[in-house]
Amino acid sequence: MTIRVLIVEDSVIFQTVLKNIFNTSPDIEVAGIARDGLEALALIPQLDPDVICTDFHMPKMDGLEFTKQVMLHYPRPILVISVSVQTDQRHRIFELLEAGAVDIFPKPRGSADPESQINHLRLINKIKILAGVKVFRKLTPQASLKSDFLPNTQQQTPGKNTSEIKIIAIGTSTGGPQALQTIFASLPANFSVPIVCVQHISHGFLDGLIQWLSLTSGLPIEIALSGITPQPGKIYFPPEKKHLELNSQGQFVCSDSPPLGGHRPAVDVTFKSVARIYASNAIAVLLTGMGKDGAAGMQMIRQAGGLTIAQDRETSIIFGMPKEAIELGAVQHILPLPEITPFIIQKSTSI
């Protein structure tokens, strides 16, 4: 089935670049092109696109207001395709995710060099992923009132509920920024366990993500540096295009090792080092995202005696990474997003 895409972009040059990229895929049809959000809103009822690609900065109606209107009247997957903005404004791009957009992708170049061609294929794959996303809604604490536990959750791994929690490791991909905002905003300012988070994100957007998350987080968020020991009550992200591990002294090690499963940073790399260093003193969480990154690492954490949690299907934008870990037998608790933070707090302070 052909995926119908509506391009919302005020630059004629980028309109052409995007149209040419999508035309290379037999699975994608450019249903229409709009120069701004206002024009796009008038086209949606006529074209009924499966996926909308929108810029942020546009005349008449910008991407943020457009996203709000789409979610209100014509809810469907929105991919924000934009350039990194000025340093002090980078967080604003993530306001579109808060409004209901699914993901962010950097504006591609129209050149034929190998790096650009790889980026074009990633964009096409992103469109195919978003076309399969069916449910769009703001996640609230009322989304679910009942925890969903695996049938074998009572088969306790030795030590996992009796050890002091010294680190929390989180992995996520598509839909992750929105999920992380929910989790971080719910943590108390006196939370005393360090958090290491690996988010698959396009190059150039990490600083903006951290700025945006910091607006609602009671805990400081920063980029991890090699040689630094995780500090209580701080949230760390790996640098862009770097794997993040912990050495035997418990210090961060950022590396340029080859991508794992196409990812650098990779959740599995971080999770496996957490399993080796922290064992039963760790909590691992896998949130919404496509693919299987993190499943093998989470299994190692569970085997080492750590506590493992996966976001449930109902509150995941993409139930890929959690599903892979569940099927591998790596997950002890499946929880709706609003219940993950209270569960973490309970387990981290129950000793």
Of the chain, the end-to-end C-alpha distance in Å amounts to 54
Higher pLDDT, 260 or 83: 260
Domain end point (choices 131, 158, 182): 131
Contacts of 132 (CB under 8 A, 6+ apart): none
Average pLDDT, integer, range 101-107: 93
The CATH number linked to 338 is 3.40.50.180
Residue ranges of E strands in the chain: 3-8, 28-34, 51-54, 78-82, 103-106, 148-149, 167-172, 195-199, 221-223, 235-237, 243-246, 252-255, 282-286, 307-311, 333-335
Per the domain annotation, does 169 fall within a domain? yes
Q: Are residues 125 and 171 in the same domain?
A: no
Distance (Å) of CA 332 to CA 5, 40, 124, 149: 39, 45, 35, 7
**According to the model, what pLDDT value does residue 1 have?**
83
Instruction: Look at 40-54, 134-148, 277-291 and tell me which has the smallest mean pLDDT.
Output: 134-148
Q: Are residues 64 and 120 in the same domain?
A: yes
Which residues form the catalytic set? 173, 200, 293
Q: Are residues 151 and 270 in the same domain?
A: yes
Give per-residue pLDDT as tens, 139-191. Answer: 433 333 333 444 434 333 333 456 899 999 999 999 999 999 999 999 999 99
Q: Are residues 209 and 331 in the same domain?
A: yes
Q: Are residues 147 and 92 in the same domain?
A: no
Q: Are residues 93 and 230 in the same domain?
A: no
pLDDT at 135 over 60: no
Q: Are residues 90 and 50 in the same domain?
A: yes
Q: What confidence tier does 15 reach under pLDDT thresholds 50, 70, 90? A: very high
- Helix, strand, or coil here: 152? coil
pLDDT at 322 over 90: yes
**According to the model, what pLDDT value does residue 134 have?**
63
Per the domain annotation, does 136 fall within a domain? no
Q: Are residues 186 and 334 in the same domain?
A: yes
Domain end point (choices 112, 131, 150): 131
Average pLDDT, integer, range 294-303: 98
Q: Are residues 331 and 217 in the same domain?
A: yes
**According to the model, what pLDDT value does residue 151 have?**
40
Domain end point (choices 104, 131, 158): 131
Give per-residue pLDDT as tens, 54-103. Answer: 999 999 999 999 999 999 999 999 999 988 655 556 788 999 999 999 99
Distance (Å) of CA 15 to CA 54, 110, 192, 267: 10, 11, 48, 34
Q: Are residues 68 and 155 in the same domain?
A: no
CB 118 within 8 A of CB 28: no
The DSSP element (H or E) to which 66 belongs, if any, is: helix 63-73
The DSSP element (H or E) to which 332 belongs, if any, is: none
Per the domain annotation, does 137 fall within a domain? no
Q: Which amino acid is at 239?
A: P
Looking at the chain, the whole-number percentage of residues with pLDDT higher than 90 is 82
Per the domain annotation, does 88 fall within a domain? yes
Q: Are residues 187 and 333 in the same domain?
A: yes
The CATH number linked to 89 is 3.40.50.2300
CB 105 within 8 A of CB 80: yes
Give the domain range for residue 264. 142-349
Average pLDDT, integer, range 269-279: 98
Contacts of 233 (CB under 8 A, 6+ apart): 189, 190, 191, 192, 193, 194, 219, 220
For residue 147, the tally of other CB atoms under 10 A from its CB is 13
CB 36 within 8 A of CB 10: yes
Q: Which residues pair with 324 in a beta bridge?
A: none
Total tally of structural domains belonging to the chain: 2
pLDDT at 17 over 50: yes
Q: Which amino acid is at 77?
A: P
**According to the model, what pLDDT value does residue 136 have?**
47
Q: Are residues 344 and 241 in the same domain?
A: yes
Q: Whole-model pTM? A: 0.88
Per the domain annotation, does 126 fall within a domain? yes
Angle of the 12-23 helix axis to the 114-131 helix axis, nearest 10: 80
Contacts of 197 (CB under 8 A, 6+ apart): 169, 170, 171, 172, 180, 235, 236, 237
Per the domain annotation, does 253 fall within a domain? yes
**According to the model, what pLDDT value does residue 92 have?**
85
User: Which of 293, 340, 282 has the alpha carbon at shortest distance from 312?
Assistant: 340
Per the domain annotation, does 16 fall within a domain? yes
Average pLDDT, integer, range 211-222: 96
**According to the model, what pLDDT value does residue 146 have?**
35
Average pLDDT, integer, range 104-118: 86
Provide the CA 46 distance to its chain's centre, in angstroms.
32
Q: What confidence tier does 109 reach under pLDDT thresholds 50, 70, 90? A: confident
**According to the model, what pLDDT value does residue 144 have?**
35
